[in-house]
Each structure stands twice: as C-alpha cells, then as structure tokens.
A and B are shown apart, each in its own frame.
Chain A
Amino acid sequence: MLKIENLTVTYGGITALNSVSFEAPEKKIVTLIGANGAGKSTALRAIAGLTKPASGVIQYEGKNIFGMDTQKVVAKGISLVPEGRRVFANLTVMENIRIGAYLRKDEEEIQRDRKWVFELFPILEKRSWQMAGTLSGGEQQMLAVSRALMSRPKLLMMDEPSLGLAPLVVKNIFEIIQEINKNGVTILLIEQNANMALKTADIGYVMETGKITLFGSGAELLENPHVKAAYLGTAKK
C-alpha cells in the first residue's frame, strides 16, 4: 500500500533520513522503532507532506505522492496522529471530531463514523462539550486518534501514541489500534515503546541515525538480541 524507496530528507545540511526504504502492506500494522533523533518522525512528516524530502520515492496505492501538499495527501486517505497529540485546545471535543472530517461531505457516513469513534472511546462522548484543552493526556490522545479516524483513512500514521501516558492507558490505546486495524485500516506506527509496538505489529523496522538497520516480523524482532539489548533492556549478558 505504502512503499518508501531511498527516501532522503535533509534539514539545512543535516541528513535526517539517509536513503531509507520500507513498506507498509495493506491491512497490516507496521512499526518503526528507534531512539530519539533516529528520524522516525521525519519519515512520517515526509510522507504527510509536512516536510519536503530531498530525494526518493514515496508510493501510495501505486501512485507517487513524493513532495505532495499535505491537503492532497490527506484527501487520498492518509491520516496522521501527530506527536504530542496536538488536539485543538480552543475547540470542543465535538468540534475537534468535526474538523477531523473536514474534507468529507457525506454527512450520514460522518454520523456513523462519529458513532463508531464514540464506541471506541466512550469517555469522549461524555466530554463532547468540553474544551479539548481541559482533557487529560490520555483523553487527548484518544481524541487525536478519533479526529484522525474521522477522515476515514486507509492508512493511519501514528507518531508515538504512548508518549507521556500511564501504562494502563498505553495498553488501552494499543488495544484500540488493533481494533482499528481489524476494521481494515493499515497502520504505520512510530514508537519508542518498542516492547508494546513490536507485540502489536505485524512488521517492524528498526531505525538508527537516519537509516533502517533491521527489519522483520514483530515477533522476530522481539527475539533479536540486538533489539533486546538496545530497545527492550532484557538482554542477558
């Protein structure tokens, strides 16, 4: 579904991504794990058109979307849950959800999707009149996910959904990610919480200083000694 080949991104002379290639097959959960500054977020931003890549190929459903404007990327069915949630604090929960469906015109289907996200996150329905800025961190993350779902994406990209959340909430979010995936949404997940991410993902890539260094199924990577040592902290000496 999404195919990245030799993607290079530079920020004023610094190479953030160095000829990275990876793939997200349809209806799979794919995760990119790696330390801070490895270039994971840059990869997502380049796909979403928020950062202009220097060279490479970004292929989505067989078409090149390299360097395309963000709006057009979104219109093609790619949605991004940004790092740090970034809900619109000055809008109500309901308005945040409404703006998630900004590009859609099918009012009835929007209603149905709204019902669906409220089923996924019942707490949001209770808080639908509240300003998003007054929600707790976990609730804001739920709102950010709901908002992204409202565009009815075929590919949902998530940038560190577990960031700054309590372990129980993280578990809940990951369960929901699987649930969303079961509804036919391909998921590209960026995580520092390698343990959770690899357990959930079908395919995992390990990124280090702008390069993909390892890849395999989630289960394989969980057993990989290098991954264990560097990201899971469970390696035996």
Chain B
Amino acid sequence: MPSIKKIFSNNLSAAIFVIILVMALIALYAMMLGQMPVAIFLQHLVNGISLGSLFALIAIGYTMVYTILSMINFAHGDIFMISLYFAFFALSTFRMPWVLALVCVAVLTPLVGILVERFAYRPLRNAPKNSVLISAIGTSFLLENAATYLFGGRPKAFPDIPSLTRVISIRSVNFQVVSLVIPLITAIALAILLNFIHRTKTGIAMRAVAKDYETAKIMGVNINQIIALTFIIGSALAAVGGFMWGAKYPGITPMMGVMPGLKCFVAAVVGGISDIKGAVVGGFILGLGEVMIVALFPSISGYRDAFAFVVLIVILLVKPAGILGTRVTEKV
C-alpha cells in the first residue's frame, strides 16, 4: 500500500512523542524516588490513562466535526455536560440499572447533537466560517444557561454506581474499576470507529464529504445525512465519556462542560485536528500529563488546568499541524 509511508511517518512521530512523555515521567519519578512508593506512582498512572481516555472520547467529537464542517463545535463540551444530566436523571429519578442508563444516555445525547446541527449550523452552511463559529459559541452559552434554568445551578451528586466505583487492589495498587473500564471502552470505540470510516461505504462517503461537498453530491451522497451522522457519532462518544466521567468524578454543574470541552479541543489540536487517531494521542498526552504533574509536584497542583494550555502553546510553536497532522497542500 502506497500510504504505508505516510502512516508510518505519522505513527513514528506519535511514537516519539509518547516515548518522550514516558521517559520524562520516569525521569521525574526517579528524581522523586524515595518520596513516592512505586504503588502510588502506578496508581497515578492508571488514573492518568483513564483521564486520557476520557479526553480522547470527547476530543474525537471535535475532530470529526472539524474534518467535515471545518469548524470548531464549541457546543461539544456542553453536549457532554447535558449527557451527565441525562445520566443523573436516568440513574436517580428513573432508577435504571447503570448499563441501561448508559445506553439511554448514548441514545438521547445524540438527539441534542442533531438539534444543534440542524438549527445552529445547517442554516449557516454557506455562510462565512466566522458566522458558524459565533453560532457555536452562542449555542454553548444557550446550553449552559438552559441547563442552569432547568436543572438549577447547584451541583448535583452523580449517583454512585458500586460496580464501577468499587476499589480493587492488585499488589497493593488500588484503583477503581471505572479506571480500567474507561480505557477499554475508548479502545473498543476507536476500533469500531476506524473500521467504520475506512471499511464501510458510509465511512468512505463521510471522508468524501469532508473533502468536497459538491462532488460528493454528484456521487448521490446525501450531505445533510452524513453531517447529521457525524454529529450523532461525536455526541454519542461524548455521552459515553460523560457517563464515565460522572462515575469517576461525581459532581454535576451546568458549567462543568466548559473546562473538559476546552481541554479536549486542545487535545484534538495537539494531536492534529484532522485525524481521529490524533485526537486519541492528544487526549492521552493531556490526561496523563495533567494527572502526573499534580502527582509529582503537589505544590503546583493549583495549576493543573494550565497544563493543557501550556502543551497547546508548545505544540503550536513546534508543530503547528499537530502531532499526527500533516501540512495541507493542495494541487491546484
């Protein structure tokens, strides 16, 4: 396959970044040796990986919408937030078993995604990019304030799901079940998604639409359907992420989508905004980095949210297209 070279070079730069990250972590750990037992370090590592997987799930939504509409869906973080409220009501008001609740949330949240696309973005399909961006920011505020109005501004406690929050310990390394479930779900979701995009006809159509609306239309592709599908997939992944987020960090507020939303947007940019695998790599770097910085330097833990943005600045200076991103050149 001729694209092997490209795939290889992409994976190579990703591998280099991950290796550097891991080496930096080990070096940091070596510096701190004696202050932190191995078990605690491994515990943080597990936490970092699971946070990274959550970021990855949400970041994929940004990447998918960006590749097809060339816009940043700033409402994505708030769709994530809405999914947590759905989960809250499913679990506490309707007392559903958690698996059923998860399915419900993963079905209901995409409806919000479709509505956002239908009423905030589709009417602006042929408008200048800035208009769509402003519409996205407006939608974000709308969702936040609607949630405040409907659900109240006071934080709600995400109902405890014992089978997910149970602590297990392997060789004195303690962690919650959910910390293992999250990376597993992310891996499965990614495998299914990549297969869908590369092997199925609809997946091919999706990439074709991302490249050229008009020619895709000539092939008989229904552009609106494909774009709606993109929002469905992105929102469903955010919903699954939201559910797991709630199980791990149980506190829901209408504004809680802002920070994860921003960080996942950063993750998508860091990984290379036009590549789904990039979103995953970016998510892992941010999640792992954030947890580790806090673990290794408790004194600067107040700056944990700044980590993502420092990484963003560095990446934009060093490799503006992102880790897996390739510079876009077009033959005219």
Q: Taking beta carbons and an 8 Å cutoff, which residues of A are in contact with B?
A: 48, 50, 70-71, 74-75, 79-80, 82, 86, 88-92, 95, 98-100, 102-103, 129-131, 133-134, 147-148, 151
Contacts and interface: CB of A to CB of B under 8 A. Distances in A.
Nearest to B214: A50
B3 A100 contact: no
A95 B2 contact: no
B194 interface: no
B214 A82 contact: yes
Contact of A102 (B2, B205, B211): B205
Given A88-B212, A98-B204, A99-B201, A74 B2 contact: no
Contacts, number: 72
Contact of A92 (B3, B212, B218): B3
A70 B1 CA distance: 34
B208 A75 contact: no
A50 B217 contact: yes
A124 to B, nearest CB: 14
Contacts of B169: none
A136 to B, nearest CB: 10
A171 to B, nearest CB: 24
Interface of B: 1-3, 201, 204-205, 207-208, 210-212, 214-222, 330-331
A163 to B, nearest CB: 13
Contacts of B215: 82, 86, 88
Contacts of A92: 3
What's the dominant secondary structure at chain A's contact region?
mixed
B23 to A, nearest CB: 34
Contact of A88 (B2, B207, B222, B330): B207
Contact of A133 (B216, B222, B331): B331
Contacts of B3: 92, 129-131
A151 B331 contact: no
A110 to B, nearest CB: 10
A79 B210 contact: no
Contact of A74 (B218, B330, B331): B218
What's the dominant secondary structure at chain B's contact region?
helix
Contacts of A88: 207-208, 211-212, 215-216
Contacts of A95: 204, 207
Given A50-B214, A86-B212, A90-B210, A102 B220 contact: yes
14 contacts: A48-B218, A71-B217, A71-B220, A71-B222, A75-B220, A80-B218, A88-B215, A88-B216, A89-B211, A99-B216, A131-B2, A147-B219, A151-B219, A151-B220
Contacts of A71: 217, 220-222
A102 B201 contact: yes
B204 A99 contact: yes
Contact of A91 (B208, B214, B220): B208
A208 B331 CA distance: 31
Given A91-B204, A92-B3, A99 B219 contact: yes
Given A89-B211, A91-B208, A102-B221, 11 more contacts: A70-B217, A71-B217, A74-B218, A82-B218, A88-B207, A88-B208, A99-B204, A99-B221, A102-B205, A129-B1, A147-B219
Contacts of B207: 88, 90-91, 95
A108 B163 CA distance: 49
A41 to B, nearest CB: 12
Nearest to B330: A89
